[in-house]
């Protein structure tokens, strides 16, 4: 599969400071999460891919186009939702989105039509003729998303899209991002501090720390693996027999205190079989959880490594 974003020894310096340190990665996912603590280089990476910063060494390719030699073409493929409050003062929401679509190359009449569509799509249809400076924070975030998608990009950069949103607004934003992702027309790069946002929206994740790639993993594979990883809480007198029986089915087990058991099921084994064995052994399964905190584990592990590399 051709990478959506390919980082080829990408290095960015601001004066003597090295911000991105020869990054190498091939991001192939439909939606890629970009994680990292403050100062890790997430925004610098996005800004470099957009051509705002010049790489001091190496390069990157977006959908096969080199950002050094085809910067304009690259930007025509991208929709960008910046992290900061960004708008054009004195303009109504729909006019700003129309202007942005025209600058991306759409003829005025198409730009106007798509600006209206984008505004309705992000849920701001009723306020599209209000000056954008008067919007609430949540509305401004949605307007930024509208201007990023109005021209129909192939790749969408979302820099902290849920920043400052209250829970319902955040849920709405995540739902929009998931909807855009699931249509399959474009790729997403979502930069966030919030593991939950990335987990909800992304199938691949790139974790940066101190300008290095600290981890790069496929969340879809992790999720599949996690579906085999269970945590049980049991009650009964024959826990030992239950353990022996599930081990005989090929499960790897790790017993804990008070009837808690962690186990990894082999492929082909269904959870129902565990209940059947438990019933046969007269053991109650009081709680059964699929492992859920995989991204957090990956993130924490990446943050623990001293040089930012796994």
Partner 1 sequence: MAVYKKTYRPYEGELTPGWSRFLVIPRYAFVEFRGKRFLSIFFFLSFIYPLICALIIYVQHNASALNLLGVQGARSLISINVTFFMSLLGWQSMLALFLASFIGPGQVSPDLANNALSLYLARPFSRVEYVLGKMSVLVILMSLMTWVPGLLCFGLQGYLEGWQWMRDNARLAGGIFFGAWIWILLLALLALALSAWVKWKPAAGGLMFGVFFVSAAFGAVINGVQRTRWGNLFNISHLVGVVWVQLFEGSNRTTNGAVFFRVVQGEELPLWTCWAALGVLSLVCLFMLARKIRGAEVVR
Interaction site with partner 1 (CB under 8 A): 14-15, 17, 43, 47, 50-53, 72-73, 75-76, 78, 80, 82, 84-91, 95, 99-100, 102-107, 110, 113-114, 116-118, 120-121, 125, 133, 147, 149, 151-152, 154, 157, 179-180, 183, 185-186
Query: Contact at 8 Å (CB) between 87 and 142?
Result: no
Per-residue DSSP letter, 75: H
Cα R_g (the chain), whole angstroms: 24
How far apart are CB 29 and partner 1 at their closest, in Å?
Answer: 19
- Please say which residue, 44 or 204, places its beta carbon nearer to partner 1: 44
Please state, in angstroms and rounded to a whole number, the distance separating the CA atoms of residues 215 and 305: 10
Comparing CB distances to partner 1, the nearer of 3 and 51 is: 51
Q: How far is the CB of 38 from partner 1 (least distance, A)?
A: 13
Nearest Cα residue to 204 out of 48, 42, 32, 43: 32
- Beta carbon of residue 302, minimum distance to partner 1 (angstroms, whole number): 25
What beta strand segments (E) does the chain contain? 5-14, 17-27, 31-35, 57-62, 65-66, 78-81, 155-159, 187-192, 204-209, 212-218, 229-235, 252-255, 260-264, 284-290
Shortest separation between residue 87's beta carbon and partner 1, angstroms: 5
Count Cβ atoms below 10 Å from residue 3 Cβ, excluding itself: 16
- Residue number with CB closer to partner 1 (192 or 281): 192
Q: Coil, strand, or helix at residue 240?
A: helix
Q: What's the min distance (Å) between Cβ of 25 and partner 1?
A: 21
Q: DSSP assignment, residue 30? A: S
Q: Pick the closer one to partner 1 by CB: 72 or 272.
A: 72
Closer by beta carbon to partner 1, 135 or else 216: 135
Nearest to 298 by CA among 211, 204, 187, 230: 204
**156 vs 274, beta carbon nearer partner 1:** 156
- CB 303 → partner 1: shortest distance, Å? 23
């Amino acid at each position: 599969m051709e990478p959506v974003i390919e980082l080829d020894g990408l290095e960015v310096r601001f004066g003597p400071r090295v911000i991105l340190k020869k990054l190498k990665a091939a991001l192939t996912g439909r939606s890629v999460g970009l994680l990292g603590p403050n100062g890790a280089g997430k925004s610098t990476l996005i800004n470099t891919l957009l051509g705002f910063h010049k790489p001091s060494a190496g390069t990157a390719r977006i959908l096969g186009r080199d950002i050094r030699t085809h910067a304009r073409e690259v930007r025509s493929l991208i929709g960008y939702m910046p992290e900061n409050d960004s708008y054009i003062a004195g303009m109504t929401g729909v006019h700003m989105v129309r202007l942005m679509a025209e600058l991306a190359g759409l003829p005025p009449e198409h730009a106007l039509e798509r600006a209206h569509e984008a505004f309705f799509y992000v849920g701001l249809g009723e306020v599209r003729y209000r000056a954008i400076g008067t919007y609430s924070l949540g509305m401004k975030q949605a307007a930024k998303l509208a201007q990023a998608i109005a021209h129909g990009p192939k790749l969408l950069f979302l820099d902290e899209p849920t920043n400052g949103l209250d829970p319902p607004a955040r849920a709405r934003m995540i739902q929009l991002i998931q909807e855009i992702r699931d249509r399959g027309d474009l790729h997403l790069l979502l930069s966030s501090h919030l593991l939950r946002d990335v987990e909800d929206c992304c199938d691949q994740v790139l974790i940066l720390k101190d300008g290095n790639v600290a981890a790069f993993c496929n969340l879809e594979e992790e999720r599949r693996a996690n579906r085999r990883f269970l945590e049980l809480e049991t009650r009964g007198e024959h826990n030992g027999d239950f353990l022996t029986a599930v081990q005989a089915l090929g499960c790897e087990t790790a017993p804990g205190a008070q009837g808690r058991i962690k186990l990894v099921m082999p492929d082909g084994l269904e959870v129902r079989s565990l209940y059947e064995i438990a019933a046969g052994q007269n053991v109650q399964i009081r709680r059964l959880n699929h492992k859920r905190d995989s991204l957090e584990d990956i993130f924490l592990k990446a943050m623990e490594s001293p040089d930012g590399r796994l």
